[in-house]
Amino acid sequence: MWSENVKRRLHYNININLKSSSGGFSISDLARAGIEGKPIRLSDKIHHGIVLDVSSNGFDRCSVDFGSIFVDENDPDTVFLFYSGTSDAQWSRSGVGLARSHGGFKFQKTSENPILEGNSRSFNHRETLTPAVIRVGNRFYMVFSGRRSSNKSRRIGLAYAEDLKGPWHILGEILKPTHIWEGVHLDNGPTLVKLNETTFLFFYSNLMTNSKLDMFAFLRRYPIRRIGIAKIRIRGPSLSQIEVYKHSANPLKHLNGAKGDWNESVFCPGYFQLNGMHFMVPAASTYSVGFPYKQYIGIASSNTPFFNKSHTRIEKLIDGPSEKSQIIPNMKSEICLDSPSPILFKEKSKLFLYYSVADRAAYVWKIALTTFGSTKF
């Protein structure tokens, strides 16, 4: 059941077997479950390093972060990469930028950057982060997180534009922390999941500050980040035409591992769909081990985009501590990983996974790419 009296969704019984193997990740034959499909393997992992770096000057000269990949149905040959940027290490002000590519490896930033920033009247005056874009009819809509000032909570809002380069118009705030598990701040993931022409899901995660830990986090002495789901229905470019609901099964605790596990905390997940199966790609961290934290990227599979407990498996996809030198050469500390944004290129039989990275010794965020091959895409 969704909050705000949304009807309960249906569940379908499909057995899923996602497991690690020497050649990569495999998914068992789905035909007996009523879905046409063949075994799928994610193999041939290749780290391509940084594909979007900071600028020499401008709004993103100190960090390029929270990347989100988008391909428009009317321009399928262009890969658009939305991202967050800031001009100082304290992130005193941030905005959204846009870069384009025709192969997915080399990106060119648009001259219109930043394409979205807050203003003195908007809820995102200080921070404009984590963009995720979808087309609805002849308009584009962007779900993003932001906050007005350093003493306000981060919330999730919505903007729209007629063109991806803008101008983007901020509609306002659509989601804020209302439950204990959500903590002080909310971050949305980099992908919107299409249910129909006007209705979408987006994933979001909690974030607590050291001064405002909930009672359970205070007792265990470390925070846990979890993932929730929200549904948004867009009927037009005004807040009166927008409906947003939180899923009553939030948070998806079954995605979290035990204390010390690689997926002790999970956050800011991307998403893709293949052969009737749904895949969530979250960042993960073990905060209980202390600083410098160890971080990872996982992959969860399910027969439903709601990733209910009985039909969801989660495995490690990228091991930050052991693969960090392949992603960023000459690392001096542990690697930061955030906002995995996957996209399938079936004609290339490739999964492209973009994600934010930083060396904890420097904290300059950039966007990296890892590809996976498969003959079953």
Q: Examine the pLDDT at 17 and tell me if it is beyond 80.
A: no
From the number of C-beta atoms within 10 Å of its C-beta (0-12, 13-18, 19+), residue 10 rates as: exposed
Cα-based distances in Å from 252 to 51, 145, 221, 292, 316: 32, 20, 22, 26, 17
For residues 53 and 48, what is the distance between their CA atoms, to the nearest angstrom?
13
352-362 per-position pLDDT tens digit: 999 999 999 99
Output 219 or 140, whichever has higher pLDDT. 140
Distance of alpha carbon 223 from alpha carbon 47, whole angstroms: 30
The answer, yes or no, to whether residue 246 has pLDDT greater than 80, is yes
User: Which distant-in-sequence residues (6+ apart) come within 8 Å of 327 by Cβ?
Assistant: 47, 49, 335, 357, 368, 370
What is the model's pTM?
A: 0.88
DSSP state string for 135-174: EETTEEEEEEEEESSTTS--EEEEEEESSTTS--EEEEEE
Pick from 243, 230, 213, 205: nearest CA to 129: 205
Q: What is the CA 84 to chain-centroid distance, rounded?
A: 13
| Domains of the chain listed by start with CATH number | 18-373 (2.115.10.20)
For the stretch 39-80, pLDDT in tens is: 456 778 999 999 999 999 999 999 999 999 999 999 999 999
Percent of the chain at pLDDT > 70 equals 85
Split at pLDDT 50, 70, 90, the class of 20 is very low
